[in-house]
Structure 1
Amino acid sequence: MIEVKDLKKSFGDTQILKGITTSFEKGKTNLVIGQSGSGKTVFLKCLLGLFEYESGSISYEGKNFSELSRDEKTNLRSEMGMVFQGSALFDSMTIAENVMFPLRMFTKQSKSEMEDRVNEVLKRVNLDDAHKKMPSEASGGMQKRVAIARAIVNRPKYLFCDEPNSGLDPKTAIVIDNLIQEITEEFNITTVVNTHDMNSVMEIGEKIVFLKNGLLEWEGSSETIFRTDNEAVTNFVYSSELFRKVRKMYLEESE
């Protein structure tokens, strides 16, 4: 579990995060949503330890990040997997080499052990025959699956995804959503996903955190978001025509 208490972060005189308190449970897909400028990306980078924050705390399994030693912080980061918005694969490496990269960086495994693990995770994301391909030879959906394989190759306790469906067609986006949720449950990972995709909210939003202007405006699940009367939330999520239709059907069934 990740616990966040009264988190504040500023850049110069501009306060981006204004006191966020929430938690993210293990084995669940936790979604962070909000308009551009709401603080989602800064929040995610604070969780990853990439940004230092002025006050508040972030605890991982009860351990306060700011109180950890340098070595303890390094060890914690090795337990984090990250799926970047643009996949961020190394163009000069094959798919297998991309996936192996975290193993080379954080472990002392033998080459054969690393190869076995790479084979295992590529099979898990249905890319059994993609080892020797270059990223440029892979479709957008394949690249996302490679990014997921790389993120989980080191058996992380925490998985962070920044707009994982960005640039994907709706059908492929659903595949990626399902894969993230399956891996979260299968390996009992604490997963945090930054997203604008309302389909993701409906399909895999076991917990949803809505940020507005650096504040936690609302939190709940994909079911409770249909019933909320929070105007900021409804203005954001119901701008999606699909979401409006689904909400209408959901309310009619609940009557």
Structure 2
Amino acid sequence: MIEVKDLHKSFEDAHILKGISTSFEKGQTNLIIGQSGSGKTVFLKCLLGLFEYEEGSISYEGRNFSKLSRNEKTELRSEMGMVFQGSALFDSMTIAENVMFPLRMFTKQSMSEMEDRVNIVLKRVNLDNAHKKMPSEASGGMQKRVAIARAIVNRPKFLFCDEPNSGLDPKTAIVIDNLIQEITEEFDITTVINTHDMNSVMEIGKKIVFLKDGLLEWEGSNKTIFKTENEAVTNFVYSSELFRKVRRMYLEEDAQ
């Protein structure tokens, strides 16, 4: 679980995050959404420990990040997995070497132990026979699955995903969404996803945090978002024809 209390972040005179308080539960997919400039990327980087914040606190299973020692922060970061927007695979490494990279960085496992773990996670993301391929030989969907395998290879307690469906066709995006949700529930991970994909919101948004102008404007689930009267939320999500149809369906069911 991650708890955020009264979080403030500024860059010179620009006040980006303006007192955000929320929580992200274990074993479920937590989504951050909002328009460009809403603060969601800055928020995600604060959660990752990449940005220092001026006020407030972020606690990871009861550990207040700002009060940890340097060694304790390093240990906490080793419990985090990250799926980057562009997958961020190393072009000069094979898929297996990419996935093994965090194990080399953060563990003292033997080569055979690392190879066994790589085999397990690649099988979990349905890439059993891709070990020797180079990233350039993999499709966009395969690269995302490699990125997910690398993110979970070190058995993280916290998984962060930045626009995991960016650049993917709708069918592949659904596959990636489902995979992230399955892994989150299977390994009881606290997963936080920064996304603009409304299909992701509808499919896997167990908890949704909507930011506007650095404020937490609304939070709920993929069920309650269809019923909200919050104008900022409705203007944002119901610009999609698909969402307008789904919302009508939910309202019709409630009226019956």
Report the equivalent of 1:203: 203
2: distance between equivalents of 1:171 and 1:249? 23
1: distance between equivalents of 2:248 and 2:84? 34
1: distance between equivalents of 2:241 and 2:77? 39
How many positions carry a matched residue from both structures?
255
Report the equivalent of 1:7: 7
Report the equivalent of 2:228: 228
SS of equivalent to 2:109? coil
Report the equivalent of 2:58: 58
The alignment's C-alpha RMSD in Å is 0.4
2: distance between equivalents of 1:125 and 1:36? 31
SS of equivalent to 1:184? helix
Gaps of 5+ in 2: none
C-alpha displacement at 1:173, in angstroms? 0.3
1: distance between equivalents of 2:82 and 2:133? 22
C-alpha displacement at 1:215, in angstroms? 0.3
Counterpart of 1:32, as a letter, is I
Counterpart of 1:164, as a letter, is P
2: distance between equivalents of 1:178 and 1:251? 26
1: distance between equivalents of 2:212 and 2:139? 34
Report the equivalent of 1:128: 128
1: distance between equivalents of 2:24 and 2:81? 15
1: distance between equivalents of 2:75 and 2:55? 23
C-alpha displacement at 1:20, in angstroms? 0.2
Instruction: Give aligned-pair identity as a percent.
Output: 89
C-alpha displacement at 1:254, in angstroms? 1.9
**Residues 103-252 of structure 1 correspond to what in structure 2 (within 5 A)?**
103-252=103-252
1: distance between equivalents of 2:139 and 2:242? 26
1: distance between equivalents of 2:229 and 2:102? 44
C-alpha displacement at 1:130, in angstroms? 0.4
C-alpha displacement at 1:49, in angstroms? 0.3
TM-score, with length taken from structure 2: 0.99
SS of equivalent to 1:57? strand
SS of equivalent to 1:171? helix
2: distance between equivalents of 1:200 and 1:8? 27
Counterpart of 2:253, as a letter, is E
Dislocated runs of 4+, deviation >6 Å: none
2: distance between equivalents of 1:114 and 1:249? 49
Counterpart of 2:240, as a letter, is S
2: distance between equivalents of 1:246 and 1:90? 40
2: distance between equivalents of 1:198 and 1:243? 8
Gaps of 5+ in 1: none
**Residues 82-121 of structure 1 correspond to what in structure 2 (within 5 A)?**
82-121=82-121
After superposition, give the CA deviation of every residue in 1:163-192 in whole Å (9 maximum; x if it has no partner): 000000000000000000000000000000
2: distance between equivalents of 1:202 and 1:157? 25
2: distance between equivalents of 1:63 and 1:142? 35
